[in-house]
Amino acid sequence: MPQPLVAWKVLPHGKLVEVDDNLLTVVGRLQMPLAEIPRRMTVVRLIDARLVIYSAIALDEVEMAALEDYGRPAFLVVPGDHHRLDARPWKTRYPGLVVAAPAGARAAVEATVHVDTTAPFFDDPAVQWVAVPGTQEHEAALVVRTPGGTTIVLNDLVANIRNATGFGGWLLKVMGFAGDEPHIPAVRKLAMVKDAEALRAQLLAWAEIADLRRILVSHGDPIEDDPAATLRELAADLG
C-alpha cells in the first residue's frame, strides 16, 4: 500500500453522489505498482448536519465545497489498518475532527494520526458503529438507517470489484480482490477473520434486517441486488 500522505494531495476521483437521504459516496482510483484499484469514501450526515467521513479521500476543491455545503465534518473514521492514506491531511484541514478507529487497528492508525476513540458516540439513533465481530476489531462498520432503508458500510472485509480488465484486472483477480460476485478476499480472510463463527453470526444478523437496501464497500460496486442473500452467501462461505 502507498505510504500515508502528509499534505492534501488530490488523486483521481469521481463526483460525490447522494445514494440515499443523508448518505454520500465518492469513488477514487488508487494506482498500485501493477494495478489500479477503486476506493470509496462514504459520508453520513447526522441528525444535526454533522458529517461522519468513512475511509477519507482528499477531493478537489469543487467536491470539497459540495461536501461542506452538505454538512460539517465532525468524525473521521479510519475503518481498518490500511485506510490511512488521507487521514492526516483530513485532520490537518479539519482540526476539530474526532478520529475513530476500531480497537484492533488503533496501533496501526496511531502511526499516522492520533485516534481519539475506538467507540464513537454519534448522538444519532439512525447511525450505529460496529466493531465487526470475528475480526479482532480490525474492521469498523456503520449501519445507517434512513426512510429509504438500511445501508451497511463495510471496509476491507468484503470486495465487489467487477469487470476488472487488462493485466491489472487479471492481477486483482489472481490476488482475490476482483471477481464476478461479492466475496471476502482470501488474503483478508487470512489476515482479519480470527473467529469465523462470530463473523458468520453477524453477517446472518445483518441479513435479517427487514429493510436492508444496500451494502457499501471500500473496494468495489455497491451491493444492491438482494444484499441479504449476499450476506447469507458470505456467511456460508466462511465454512
C-alpha cell at 220: 468495489
Number of structural domains the chain divides into: 1
Q: In the structure, what pLDDT confidence band is assigned to residue 173 with cuts at 50, 70 and 90? A: low
Query: Is residue 6 included in any domain, yes or no?
Result: no
* pLDDT number for residue 160: 86
| 25 within some domain | yes
Q: Does residue 5 form part of some domain?
A: no
Given this model, what pLDDT does residue 76 score?
Answer: 98
Identify whether 8 is part of a domain.
Answer: no
Q: 71: domain range? A: 17-237
Q: In this structure, what CATH number is given to the domain that contains residue 140?
A: 3.60.15.10
| pLDDT for the residue numbered 164 | 58
- Give domain status of residue 1, yes or no: no
pLDDT tens digits, one per residue of 131-160: 999 999 999 999 999 999 999 999 999 988
Segment 184-207 mean pLDDT:
92
Whether 98 maps to a domain, the answer reads yes
Average pLDDT, the chain: 92
pLDDT tier for residue 2 given thresholds of 50, 70 and 90: confident
- pTM above threshold 0.75: yes
User: What is the arrangement of strands in the sheet containing 127-131, beginning at the earlier edge strand?
Assistant: 127-131, 140-146, 149-153, 212-216
Instruction: Evaluate whether residue 9 is within a structural domain.
Output: no
The answer to whether residue 31 scores a pLDDT higher than 80 is no
Taking CA 73 as the corner, what is the angle to CA 67 and CA 75, rounded to the nearest 5 degrees? 135
Question: CA separation (Å) from 233 to 140, 198, 230?
Answer: 21, 15, 5
Q: Is 7 inside any structural domain? A: no
